[in-house]
Amino acid sequence: MTKIKAGLKRLQFFWLAVLLLTVKTYILYKVAFTIPSENMLQEFLLLINPLSSAVLLLGIALLFKNRTRNIMVVVLAFIGTLVLYFNLLFYRFYADFLTWPVLMQTNNVQDLSGSVFELTNGWDALLFVDIALLVTLVVRHKVPVVPRLKREPAMIFSLAVLIFLGNLTLAQVERPQLLTRSFDRELLVKNIGMFNFHLYDAVLQSQSRAQRVLADSSDIVEVKNYTRANHKEPDEDMFGVAEGKNVFMISLESIQSFVIENDVYGEEVTPFLNELKDDSYYFENFYHQTEQGKTSDSEFLVNTSMFGRDSGAVFFTHAGNEYNATPEILGENGYHSSVMHANNSSFWNRDVMYDSLGYDEFYDVDSYEVTEENSVGWGLKDREFFEQSIPLLQEQPQPFYTTFITLTNHFPFELDEEDRMIEEYDSNSGTLNRFFPTVRYMDYAVEEFFNDIKEAGLYEDSIFVLYGDHYGISENHNRAMSQYLGKDEITPFDTTQLQRVPLFIHIPGHEGEIMDTVGGQIDLKPTIMNLLGLSTKNDIQFGSDLFSPERESYAVLRNGNFITEDHVFANNTCYEKETGEEAEIEACEELSPKAASDLEYSDQILYGDLLRFFEAENEGLAETDDENES
């Protein structure tokens, strides 16, 4: 006991720093990240899970000598605080935790600066009070300088491992198979802690990179058989109705379906889109399926009919893969493909990824005249963007497949006063309040774009696909959302339903129809291909034609939740879709294996880069089909 007391006294500055970092992390869990606890064991896990990582991180300082050791305790405590703070800023918008692929996206930092500033808070300075205390103690020589440590570093690291193993054992009791749920980052942080989660995430990223090296051509056979067995034949009346026509893909930034046919203080939020429903195929149960990659994830889903990663962004981590994407396929069938987006070409690694997807041309910020007067928030205003895109469209060979990525309705939803057409909403969330005027402005910009297209003579020979790319309002604004929607609270069922985004497929000359089939962004590739008269029977894809009479009314989200015609499965709970009330879990069990298989097989293709083997396999399929027809 005497030796233990002596050891504690020798390392009292180290233990003070461990205590401060542990307590600070726990307070953030409860106050900033609002991680709930359903029982005493969960609360205990929240309390102890920062301890092992704090001991391990600060224990590195014990490898140094004399006064340097104390300085390193402060440095490492500061690094730990920065990890907490960066996660806090990220969480305030995305309601999610950082992963290594996101942290590696350093070339996005400059473009994100405005959003980061919006997310900061004056109270954030309290996070660094303990660092100031530690610095003061060191500078004023209030910390004893221990000249030599013998067994202490090894004992400290052993203690950190023991605490972690105890933490993990209890966490596995509380949530069996915990480490298989890498997509549920809040669950992992809740049970093993934020710092340990980042270490675990690093291991996962290294494993995913190894999968490509170990993959071979035989790995694609099982996936091919799975996707082919799930192929749905197209609607005979819709197949080829847009053959040879131009395709306008309009990505509507951050819009969610709850704004359609809705208002703020009696003023319509989307008057043009409301009218567009009357002469378009409008899908009212269409879901975004993005994760941390947000807009880039939606581009990936729409063009490949594959899921993005459960963490990070495919545009960064797998830009060198082979893909069988819509732009490449259309290019082989006489189409010119392009993207128009008034942002830096390297933002989200688009300049590299677009080559992999097979786009012929990328009109980035250098293709537009961008000034301080015609810009707001993230860059060129949507009205200016669409207007300046018309000459670029006219110089393209036809038919073309062109994607337009809007910017104005992007967090933090900034708007010049002259562009404000409706009032802000009045709630406790400035983000939600500002959201409605920027959505209204985007609606106006799209309406003017349609007018410009008609004047340019491009309207009649084209089809238009307008879709929401991802949510705009995260779970951090549930209180304000419940106020706007007239609900007592936002439940997990409501959160899942709020992932619905608008989808309009506008074909000039076709009457409008409200489509109630459940679908997602992953279904757009086969839908568009069939409208253009191109078969997707032999393609490897995880979506199905939204018009197909054979399709299952179903969508799976990247986090494993899924939606059917009658039920919503969210947070391991089955809900009645019509009422939002909990249902027997058996009601959701039938499609649960398919949801898991879709995600698993898609990940196998992505991590193993299996589509590099697809061409040879596809040729074999074509030969088999020819033999069968003979």
Q: At what angle do helices 152-174 and 40-59 cross, to 10 degrees?
A: 150
Q: Is the pLDDT of residue 628 over 50?
A: no
- What local confidence, expressed as pLDDT, does residue 556 receive? 97
Q: Is the pLDDT of residue 94 over 70?
A: no
What is the distance between the alpha carbons of residues 3 and 10, in angstroms, rounded to a whole number?
10
- What local confidence, expressed as pLDDT, does residue 619 receive? 47
If one compares 177 and 626, the residue with the highest pLDDT of the two is 177
- What local confidence, expressed as pLDDT, does residue 141 receive? 84
The SS3 of residue 333 is coil
Token digits of residue 272: 């043009």
CATH architecture group of domain 226-629: 3-Layer(aba) Sandwich (3.40)
Share of the chain above pLDDT 70, in %: 91
Any idea of the CA torsion for 279, 283, 284, 286, to the nearest 10 degrees?
-150
Which of 20-34, 185-199, 552-566 comes out lowest in average pLDDT? 185-199
Q: Is the pLDDT of residue 472 over 90?
A: yes
Q: Is the pLDDT of residue 616 over 50?
A: no
- What local confidence, expressed as pLDDT, does residue 625 receive? 47
Mean pLDDT of 487-497: 96
Q: How confident is the model at residue 351 (pLDDT cuts 50, 70, 90)?
A: confident
Neighbours of 106 (CB within 10 A): 7
Which of 91-105, 298-312, 366-380, 557-571 comes out lowest in average pLDDT? 91-105
Give the distance, in angstroms, between the CA of residue 398 and the centroid of all CA atoms in the same chain: 33
What is the distance between the alpha carbons of residues 273 and 3, in angstroms, rounded to a whole number?
75
Q: Is the pLDDT of residue 6 over 80?
A: no
What is the distance between the alpha carbons of residues 244 and 248, in angstroms, rounded to a whole number?
13
Q: 380 near 389, Cβ under 8 Å?
A: no
Domain ranges of the chain: 2-211, 226-629
Residues known to be catalytic:
295
Mean pLDDT of 336-343: 96
Q: How confident is the model at residue 117 (pLDDT cuts 50, 70, 90)?
A: low
Q: Is the pLDDT of residue 569 over 60?
A: yes
Q: What is the mean pLDDT of the chain?
A: 89
Mean pLDDT of 503-517: 96
pLDDT single digits (tens) 415-433: 999 999 999 999 999 999 9
User: For 524-548, b where at least 16 C-beta lie within 10 A, e where not — what string?
Assistant: bbbbbbbbbebebebbbbbbbbbbb
Q: Is 424 left (phi over 0), alpha (psi -120 to 50) or beta?
A: beta
- What local confidence, expressed as pLDDT, does residue 627 receive? 45
Which of 142-156, 188-202, 311-325, 365-379 comes out lowest in average pLDDT? 142-156
- What local confidence, expressed as pLDDT, does residue 116 receive? 65
For the ranges 201-205, 315-319, 520-524, the one whose mean pLDDT is highest? 520-524
- What local confidence, expressed as pLDDT, does residue 106 receive? 52
What is the distance between the alpha carbons of residues 425 and 108, in angstroms, rounded to a whole number?
31
If one compares 438 and 93, the residue with the highest pLDDT of the two is 438
The residue whose two tokens read 């990247």 is 558
What is the distance between the alpha carbons of residues 313 and 291, in angstroms, rounded to a whole number?
8
- Helical ranges in 60-151 per DSSP H: 66-94, 100-103, 109-119, 129-139
pTM of the model: 0.78
Q: Residue 253 is which amino acid?
A: E
Q: 617 near 601, Cβ under 8 Å?
A: no
Q: 576 near 308, Cβ under 8 Å?
A: no
Q: How confident is the model at residue 620 (pLDDT cuts 50, 70, 90)?
A: very low
pLDDT single digits (tens) 599-613: 999 999 999 999 999
Q: Is the pLDDT of residue 246 over 90?
A: yes
- Helical ranges in 472-521 per DSSP H: 478-485, 492-497
Beta strands in 334-471 (DSSP E): 336-340, 361-363, 375-376, 379-380, 400-405, 462-468
What is the distance between the alpha carbons of residues 464 and 501, in angstroms, rounded to a whole number?
16
- What local confidence, expressed as pLDDT, does residue 5 receive? 56
- What local confidence, expressed as pLDDT, does residue 344 receive? 84
What is the distance between the alpha carbons of residues 60 and 76, in angstroms, rounded to a whole number?
8
pLDDT single digits (tens) 254-306: 999 999 999 999 999 999 999 999 999 999 999 999 998 899 999 999 999 99
Token digits of residue 35: 């991680």
- What local confidence, expressed as pLDDT, does residue 296 receive? 93
Which of 65-74, 92-101, 112-121, 419-428 comes out lowest in average pLDDT? 112-121
Mean pLDDT of 584-613: 94
Q: Is the pLDDT of residue 115 over 70?
A: no
What is the distance between the alpha carbons of residues 483 and 427, in angstroms, rounded to a whole number?
8
What are residue 622's phi and psi, to 5 degrees?
-65, -40
Neighbours of 450 (CB within 10 A): 18
Which of 35-39, 182-186, 504-508 comes out lowest in average pLDDT? 182-186
Q: How confident is the model at residue 8 (pLDDT cuts 50, 70, 90)?
A: low
Q: Is the pLDDT of residue 90 over 90?
A: no
Beta strands in 415-541 (DSSP E): 462-468, 503-506, 513-515, 519-520
Which residues is 513 bridged to in the sheet?
A: 281
Of 519, 533, 544, 529, nearest in space to 467 by CA: 519
> What would the DSSP string read from start to end of 192-235?
H-HHHHHHHHHHHHHHHHHHHHH--TTHHHHHHHHHHHT--PPP
Q: What is the CA radius of gyration of the chain?
A: 27
Q: How confident is the model at residue 121 (pLDDT cuts 50, 70, 90)?
A: confident
